[in-house]
């Protein structure tokens, strides 16, 4: 190869006269067609590694590869055939197709000292090797065609293009010459027969080449310089306009903010994200996240991931996205969803989480009936304890104290073993220990927000404790906390639980699906009473999450509860509603799983009913 390149450079140095065309009768002698076009002689026998140039021409060729069982070099590298075996109706140029140049691997023709500009490239082909009417006609050759290094024809099969063996076909292409050199390369595509007619591979074959200048497209050096300068000025003006309008600064603001965060996580490229999700295939879409879509994906090492894509529609979403990156990267616990990394390229923003095979707790408990997961009491108890441990870590054990602000069943994800993990930290707030509370913009989900936070915006870790109490009741009852029914208003699970407690029938709240399982009444009562403690109207009377874990695990006793009375009309309405046919309460209605959030945050794995994910899962 080095010798070939040296020969090519020597030829370029030796040929000085500029030319606008050349014509080659590949593998044959000099031919003048009836229209007066003269094709140069190209009858050199070639070989396995050959570079050839006739000093009287402005072209050369090189070939590589051995025909394995061929004993006669000439017949293999420059095959020939008598003209009466060809199926060519027009005899004006039939001589061009009685010979050809072939190579098992690579065949390259070079044109030198050509004037710069656009050229027409006509490549003449006819399959003359497999033309025998015996089994040899079953041979197939397939190769690729490159011009100036660009692939212009892939998997080219002469016989198919020409419509049969011994028939001619002319392929025409356009090429641009900017440095006086033209390269036409034919390369075996790795396909075709390897034992017919002989044991070998059959790469490119070509009958003739005709190159001529497209005179209407000659570009002078002055014009080229003018075009380049004009394009450069336009690009500068476009950048200036975008900068003046603030678009460039806005586009990179997320990247700058990300660089200011002390991340303890990986960085992914947009190419890696697209590869993992099969270019965001709709089949891999598993829901709508707080700021955009969520896709299932797989890394090259086989790790399953969930990719959360940020929609570029709102500034609030950007802030919360960056907040989530900074927050989760500093938090590591078995009961928190693991963040593998993020991707920020321009305005493309993604979070890459561990993939949770069983979706959310809400989906398992009160999703569509066909998609629900049968959770026995032991599993539900484990889930409740796991959530409590995750919140204990956030409030009391992590290096930074965090209030999640949006604890609910849809933000509790379940792995393949139904272990719970807290997700969606877009609304989380740092809890400074010297503050009794944080006054903040209200954000969360109605029905799960603590009263003092929903009404006054006063946020402490006890707001998460209240939300946990609601989720604990949902786990015991298998019912969604807040149900909106047309013309009937909202029915709240917590109110119903208080009603049953006052009537002395608290065990009626237990999910009927648990009645056939190994239900432990003592543990059920502990969880219900802990839920009542956590949902106390006064935040000071709510327990810490570490004490909740101890109570659920039986390491400490649940304190005596203080009764909170309800008015008689509310009691009557709740009784009538929850005593209806169980079919209307064990499965979720035609409404979304959660009430609307007051911010842009929703759910990492919100139910996406049109997704084909659930069909494939079933």
> CB-side exposure of 182: number of CA atoms within 13 Å?
30
534 half-sphere exposure, CB direction, 13 A CA radius: 32
Known binding-site residue numbers for ATP:
308
The structure's pTM equals 0.53
User: Can you tell me the distance from the alpha carbon of 530 to that of 36, in angstroms, rounded to the nearest whole number?
Assistant: 101
What pLDDT band is residue 437 in, cutting at 50, 70 and 90? Answer: very low
What local confidence, expressed as pLDDT, does residue 315 receive?
A: 45
Mean pLDDT of the chain: 79
User: How much is the pLDDT for 243?
Assistant: 62
In which residue are the tokens 């100036």 written? 148
Q: Between 541 and 560, where is the model more confident?
A: 541
Per-residue pLDDT at 275:
92
Q: What is the mean pLDDT of residues 18-34?
A: 90
What does the DSSP 8-state code read for residue 510?
S
Which has the higher per-residue pLDDT, 125 or 224? Answer: 125
Range from 71-75, 271-275, 580-584 carrying the lowest mean pLDDT: 580-584
- CB under 8 Å to 81, separation ≥6 — which residues? 98, 128, 131, 166
2 vs 77: CA distance, rounded Å: 22
pLDDT of residue 454: 84
Q: Is residue 406 flagged as an active site residue?
A: yes
Question: Which ranges in 78-171 belong to alpha helices (H)?
Answer: 158-162
Is the separation of the CB atoms in 287 and 413 below 8 Å? no
Say what the pLDDT of residue 609 is. 38
**Residue in the block written with tokens 């293999």:** 76
State residue 349's pLDDT score: 80
**Average pLDDT, stretch 198-203?**
79
Query: Residue 563: pLDDT band by 50, 70, 90 thresholds?
Result: low
In this structure, of 382-391, 587-596, 597-606, the range with the lowest mean pLDDT score is 587-596
Judge contact between 288 and 296, C-beta under 8 A.
Answer: no
Q: For residues 261 and 398, what is the distance between their CA atoms, to the nearest angstrom?
A: 18
Which one is predicted more confidently, 16 or 92? 92
Convert 204-214 to b/e letters by CB count within 10 Å (16 or more is b). Answer: bbbbbbbbebe
Containing 512, the helix (H) or strand (E) segment is none
- Of residues 300 and 17, more confidently modeled: 300
Q: Which of the two residues, 240 and 186, has the higher pLDDT score?
A: 186
Mean pLDDT of 465-479: 94
What is the distance between the alpha carbons of residues 497 and 509, in angstroms, rounded to a whole number?
7
Q: Is the pLDDT of residue 378 over 80?
A: yes
Per-residue pLDDT at 220: 59
Cβ neighbours for 616, distance < 8 A, ≥ 6 positions apart: 283
Whose tokens are 């009391």? That residue is: 396
| % residues pLDDT > 70 (the chain) | 73
Q: What is the CA radius of gyration of the chain?
A: 38
Of the chain, the percentage scoring pLDDT greater than 90 comes to: 34
Which value, to the nearest 10 degrees, does the dihedral of the CA atoms of residues 498, 504, 508, 514 take?
100
* pLDDT the model gives residue 618: 40
Q: Mind giving me the DSSP string for 8-26?
A: HHHHHHH--S-BSEEEEEE
**154-160 long-range Cβ contacts below 8 angstroms, 24+ apart:** 154/189, 155/189, 155/191, 156/189, 157/192, 158/125, 158/126, 158/127, 158/205, 159/127, 159/130
Confidence tier at 56 by pLDDT (50, 70, 90):
confident
Average pLDDT in the 179-207 region? Answer: 86
pLDDT at 492 (0 to 100): 82
Query: What element of type H or E holds 240?
Result: helix 221-245
Residue that has been written with the tokens 């020597």 in this structure: 10
pLDDT at position 71, please?
56
Query: 40 falls in which pLDDT band (50, 70, 90)?
Result: very high
Contacts of 333 (CB under 8 A, 6+ apart): 389, 390, 393, 398
Q: Report whether pLDDT(210) > 50.
A: yes
pLDDT over threshold 90, residue 100:
yes
Q: Where are the beta strands (DSSP E) in 486-587?
A: 489-492
| Residue that wins the pLDDT comparison between 199 and 547 | 547
Catalytic residue among 406, 424, 461, 464: 406
Residue 260 has pLDDT above 60, yes or no: no
Task: Say how many Å lie between the first and final Cα of the chain, rounded.
Answer: 58
Q: Residues 168-191: what's their mean pLDDT?
A: 92
Residue 511's nearest CA partner among 558, 553, 554, 473 is: 473
Say yes or no to pLDDT of 144 above 90: yes
Span of 190-194, 376-380, 479-483, 571-575 with lowest mean pLDDT:
571-575
Q: Does 26 score more than 60 pLDDT?
A: yes
Least confident range from 356-360, 414-418, 488-492: namely 488-492
Q: How far is CA 419 from CA 285, 335, 387, 416, 511, in A?
A: 23, 8, 9, 7, 20
Give the start-end residues of each E strand in 157-281.
168-177, 182-192, 205-206, 208-213, 266-267
| Rounded Cα gap, residues 408 and 498, in angstroms | 20
Q: What is the DSSP string of 380-432?
A: HHHHHHHHHHHHHIIIIISSS-EE-S---GGGEEE-TT--EEE---TT-EE--
The predicted-structure confidence for 341-361, as pLDDT tens digits, reads as follows 888 777 778 888 899 999 889
Task: Give SS3 for 173.
Answer: strand
The pLDDT value given to residue 91: 74
Between 558 and 260, the higher pLDDT residue: 558
Lowest mean pLDDT across 47-51, 125-129, 258-262: 258-262
Average pLDDT, stretch 295-302?
A: 91
pLDDT at 577: 56
pLDDT the model gives residue 606: 46
Contact 42, 53 (CB under 8 A): no
Strand duo 168-177 + 117-126: pairing: antiparallel
Find the mean pLDDT for residues 305-314: 73
Residue holding tokens 């591979």?
201
Most confident region among 19-23, 54-58, 171-175 by mean pLDDT: 171-175
Closest-CA residue to 467 (of 489, 496, 493): 493
Q: Which residue has the tokens 């997320």?
A: 254
Measured in degrees and rounded to the nearest 5, phi and psi for residue 291 equal -130, 10
Taking the C-alpha atoms of residue 153 and residue 142, their distance in angstroms, rounded to an integer, is: 11
pLDDT value at residue 599: 36
pLDDT score of 422: 92
Nearest partner of 493 among 465, 526, 469, 513, judged by Cα: 469
Rounding to the nearest 10 degrees, give the CA dihedral for residues 88, 89, 91, 96. -20
Task: Please give the Cα distance from 515 to 281 (Å, whole number).
Answer: 42
């Amino acid at each position: 190869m080095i010798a070939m390149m040296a020969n090519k450079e020597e030829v370029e140095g030796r040929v000085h006269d500029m030319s606008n065309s050349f014509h080659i009768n590949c593998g044959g002698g000099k031919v003048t067609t009836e229209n007066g076009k003269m094709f140069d002689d190209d009858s050199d026998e070639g070989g396995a590694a050959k570079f050839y140039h006739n000093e009287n021409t402005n072209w050369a060729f090189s070939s590589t590869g051995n025909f394995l069982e061929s004993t006669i070099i000439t017949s293999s590298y420059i095959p020939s055939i008598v003209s009466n075996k060809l199926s060519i109706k027009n005899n004006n140029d039939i001589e061009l197709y009685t010979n050809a140049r072939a190579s098992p691997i690579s065949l390259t023709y070079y044109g030198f000292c050509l004037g710069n500009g656009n050229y027409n490239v006509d490549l003449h082909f006819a399959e003359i090797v497999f033309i025998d009417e015996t089994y040899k006609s079953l041979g197939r050759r397939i190769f690729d065609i490159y011009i100036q290094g660009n692939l212009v024809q892939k998997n080219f099969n002469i016989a198919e293009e020409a419509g049969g063996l011994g028939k001619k076909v002319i392929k025409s292409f356009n090429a641009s010459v900017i440095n006086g050199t033209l390269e036409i390369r034919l390369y075996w595509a790795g396909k075709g027969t390897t034992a017919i007619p002989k044991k070998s591979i059959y790469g490119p074959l070509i009958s003739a080449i005709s190159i001529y200048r497209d005179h209407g497209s000659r570009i002078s050096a002055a014009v080229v310089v003018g075009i380049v300068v004009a394009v450069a000025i336009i690009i500068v003006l476009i950048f200036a306009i975008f900068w003046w309008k603030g678009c460039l600064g806005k586009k990179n603001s997320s990247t700058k903010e990300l660089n200011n965060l002390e991340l303890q996580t990986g960085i992914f490229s947009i190419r890696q994200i697209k590869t993992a999700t099969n270019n965001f295939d709709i089949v891999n879409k598993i829901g709508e996240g707080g700021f955009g879509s969520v896709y299932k994906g797989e890394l090259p090492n086989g790790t399953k991931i969930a990719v959360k894509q940020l929609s570029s529609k709102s500034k609030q979403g950007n802030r919360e996205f960056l907040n989530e990156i900074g927050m989760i990267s500093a938090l590591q616990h078995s009961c928190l969803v693991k963040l593998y990394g993020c991707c920020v390229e321009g305005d493309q923003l993604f979070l890459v989480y561990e993939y949770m095979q069983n979706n959310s707790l809400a989906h398992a408990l009160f999703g569509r009936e066909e998609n629900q997961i049968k959770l026995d009491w032991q599993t539900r108890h484990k889930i409740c304890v796991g959530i409590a441990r995750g919140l204990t870590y956030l409030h009391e054990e992590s290096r930074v104290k965090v209030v999640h602000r949006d604890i609910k069943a849809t933000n509790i994800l379940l792995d393949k073993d139904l272990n719970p993990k807290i997700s969606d930290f877009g609304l989380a707030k740092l809890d400074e220990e010297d503050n009794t509370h944080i006054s903040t913009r209200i954000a969360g989900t109605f029905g799960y927000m603590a009263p003092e936070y929903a009404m006054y915006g006063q946020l402490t870790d006890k707001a998460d404790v209240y939300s946990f109490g609601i989720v604990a009741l949902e786990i015991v009852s298998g019912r969604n906390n807040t149900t909106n029914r047309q013309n009937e208003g909202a029915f709240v699970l917590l109110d119903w639980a208080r009603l049953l407690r006052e009537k002395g029938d608290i065990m009626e709240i237990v999910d009927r699906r648990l009645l056939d399982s190994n239900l432990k009444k003592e543990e059920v009562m502990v969880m219900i009473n802990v839920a009542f403690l956590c949902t106390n109207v006064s935040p000071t009377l709510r327990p810490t999450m570490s004490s909740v874990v101890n109570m659920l695990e039986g390491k400490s006793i649940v304190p005596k509860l203080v009764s909170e009375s309800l008015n008689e009309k509310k009691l009557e309405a709740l009784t009538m509603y929850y005593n209806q046919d169980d079919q209307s309460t064990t499965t979720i209605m035609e409404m979304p799983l959660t009430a609307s959030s007051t911010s842009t945050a929703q759910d990492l794995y919100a139910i996406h009913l049109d997704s084909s994910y659930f069909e494939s899962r079933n």
